[in-house]
Amino acid sequence: MMGPSGAARYSELDRQSRVESASPHRLIQLLMERSLTKIGLAKTHLEKRNLAEKGSSIGDAIEIINGLQASLNHKADERLSGNFDALYGYMMRRLLEANLYNDTAALDEVAGLMREIKEAWDAIADEAGAMEVPDV
């Protein structure tokens, strides 16, 4: 039977494998999924009054969103990327407020925004896949 440390190592290897084999589009999806996981963990920790763990999870979510913000391509569409830049900045500020004031509503707000962004991003992948011509 695998102990907790074995399970943790397996989970990390699985995550690393998915990242190494992922397309750039999929990497963004993974980051969005991970940010939602961290926000959910933060909310759980807050409800259980595990404040140190809540702060750590929020910090992780902020770091992930900061990475998403840094990955924006401002040359492709300056207006659109500027809007996302501002949105990611807003989300990080709300997470800081959630941490400072133990505000579950702020966590829910950021999670909702991230879910909307992710749904749109997922739709791009679905459309791109539908447009590919299969090998004959």
Give residue-wise pLDDT tens across range 82-112.
999 999 999 999 999 999 999 999 999 999 9
**Does 11 have pLDDT greater than 60?**
no
**What are the residue boundaries of the structural domains of the chain, listed by start?**
24-126
Q: Quick: pLDDT tens for 37-61.
A: 999 999 999 999 999 999 999 999 9
| CATH node for 24-126 | 1.20.120.340
Residue matched to tokens 């997922």: 122
Count of alpha carbons within 13 angstroms of residue 130, beta-carbon side: 6
Cα separation, 105 vs 40, in Å, equals: 12
Residue 114, Cβ density class (10 Å: 0-12 exposed, 13-18 middle, ≥19 buried): buried
